Structure 1
Amino acid sequence: MGKNNKWANLYLVCVFIVLYSPIMYLMYYSFNSGGSMTGFEGFTLEWYKEVFEDTRLLIIVLNTLVIALLSALIATIIGVAGAIAIHRIKRYRRKNTLLSMNNVLIVSPDVIIGASFLIMFTMIGVQLGFTSVLLSHVAFSVPIVVLMVLPKLQEMSPTLIDAARDLGANSREVLSKVILPFIKPGIFAGFFMALTYSLDDFAVTFFVTGNGYSTLSVEIYSRARQGISLSINALSTLIFLFTVILVVGYYLINRRNNSKRIGVGVVQP
């Protein structure tokens, strides 16, 4: 067992090295005063200063954050409602069909999804821009929220709802005081996953953005095609750090909720 654990840990370390080495390389050269990624000549914050002085880029950052927050919020509301509806279905075949339909947007290639949204928006006359990007991000975020919330619903004992009804709670009170508090960790997980997916998405967004409107992923791609600029490294570093902050924030919130739940369980006789 000890030797197996040793090889498993070594494999895990190698995986993390392969995944994070390019990111660390990019971040390292974002502080290079030489202006290239071939040799580090000295430490500088010039490229970060250039990012914050670019008014157009700051507007794009604001667009990206607004899209991410709005789409995550809307997708969370729809996803929670959808997960509760799917959970309440008794027939296995119908429930399995709905789950399969929910997973289509997750397993489908992003290029196909983006092209499909582009065709649909063109056919129904939706102008490409803020609205098209928001609707697309909501659409591919909802299945993620459903998958995050469903396991928490499955963990919940039916006796909790029965007890609440026996005490006189109506359907709204059961939902607000029993179901939603119990699945709160799943709701937070779904919201943060939807938020990060929206921030990182490129393929779908590339198809549904219009003239004069862009997000960070599309802007970075456009700038990278024009040539190597370390301002792209600086911008990518800031995005990566923001994503790390989101993940750490979710971890701390989840840990605090678990601690409270354990504390309540210990206090109860």
Structure 2
Amino acid sequence: MNARAKGRGGWSWANLYLIAVFVILYAPILYLVYYSFNAGGTMHGYDGFTLEWYGEVFSDTRLLIIVLNTFVIALFSSAISTALGVVGALAIHKVRRLQAKNALLSLNNVLIVNPDVVIGASFLILFTMIGLKLGFGSVLVSHIAFSVPIVVLMVLPKLQEMNATLIDAARDLGASGWQVLSKVVLPFIKPGIFAGFFMALTYSLDDFAVTFFVTGNGFSTLSVEIYSRARQGVSLSINALSTLLFLFTILLVIGYYLINRRSGKITEAGARP
């Protein structure tokens, strides 16, 4: 009886802790979203509901161009980094020596564990040394570089789950190397590929620190633009813009969750006799 009560008490405290964590994380975001509909024009008093600030966002031509730049960078970098990440994951998976594989994984994780400020400054120095003009190209290369390790981490577990007998069976049936890859391996790891793509897309859309270092005059992304506008003073159009970006990111996270859930169901179905 006491053990059950203690267990229930433990779950209760755990739930309270989780609620407190989520409140601390999401309260500032909800506060920002709430005042994006404020007709008063400030964040000190709510004077009524309005969509004026969202209309101001959509009527700003320069901002719409920046939104387009952001999505073009995100889509291009995600597509390229997904292709490179799949190749990298396949290469790491084929390494047989444990020490060599661990070394490659460590190198892959460098751009993930390093502070974004260090990565951004390093890219800035590199682009300055090679004479690459800061702008679309520098931002695209930087986003590809920090997105590839994310894709590798998403794809590699799916490769490790794959039964080696599937490949052996395909080869016994006369399949070539390309057929094994396209007909067996890629379909099996497809959930990991899509998850990696969505994660890379989310990271690219949300990135500020690296982009701030490598963007040039005449080219900007949403995160850098929001920062620049916030420095000039509080405007509820920033709230509206941030809300739209936050909602889009939530949609990407939901897509990632659904893909992982589907992947889990496929794995369970394959494991059944």
Residue 183 of structure 1 is matched in structure 2 by 189
Question: For residues 251 and 118 of structure 1, do their structure 2 counterparts lie closer, same or farther at Cα, with a shift above 3 Å needed?
Answer: same
TM-score (norm 2): 0.94
Alignment of 1:184-263 (within 5 A): 184-256=190-262, 258-259=264-265
Amino acid at match of 1:139: A
**CA drift at 1:252:** 3.1
- Count of paired positions: 267
Is the Cα contact below 8 Å between 2:108 and 2:149 reproduced in 1? yes
**CA drift at 1:258:** 4.9
Q: Map Cα deviations across residues 110-130 of structure 1 (whole Å, 9 max, x no partner).
A: 111001101111111111000
- Secondary structure at the aligned position of 2:109 is classed as helix
Structure 2: give runs of 5+ residues left out of the alignment. Answer: 1-6
Amino acid at match of 2:205: L
**CA drift at 1:183:** 0.8
Distance 1:96 1:264 in 2: 28
Q: Find 2:174's aligned residue among 168, 171, 179.
A: 168
- Secondary structure at the aligned position of 1:213 is classed as coil
Q: Map Cα deviations across residues 191-238 of structure 1 (whole Å, 9 max, x no partner).
A: 111000000000000000000000000000000000000000000000
Residue 4 of structure 2 is matched in structure 1 by none
Amino acid at match of 1:106: I
Structure 1: give runs of 5+ residues left out of the alignment. Answer: none
Q: Map Cα deviations across residues 141-164 of structure 1 (whole Å, 9 max, x no partner).
A: 000011111111111111111111
Q: Is residue 154 of structure 2 the alignment partner of residue 148 of structure 1?
A: yes
Alignment of 1:11-160 (within 5 A): 11-160=17-166
**Residues 27-36 or 2-11, more deviating:** 2-11
Distance 1:173 1:235 in 2: 46
Is the Cα contact below 8 Å between 2:57 and 2:241 reproduced in 1? yes
TM-score (norm 1): 0.95
**CA drift at 1:101:** 0.6
**Residues 144-153 or 254-263, more deviating:** 254-263
Identical-residue share of aligned pairs (%): 75
**CA drift at 1:260:** 5.9
Amino acid at match of 1:201: D
Distance 2:53 2:92 in 1: 49
Distance 2:94 2:270 in 1: 28
Is the Cα contact below 8 Å between 2:151 and 2:197 reproduced in 1? yes
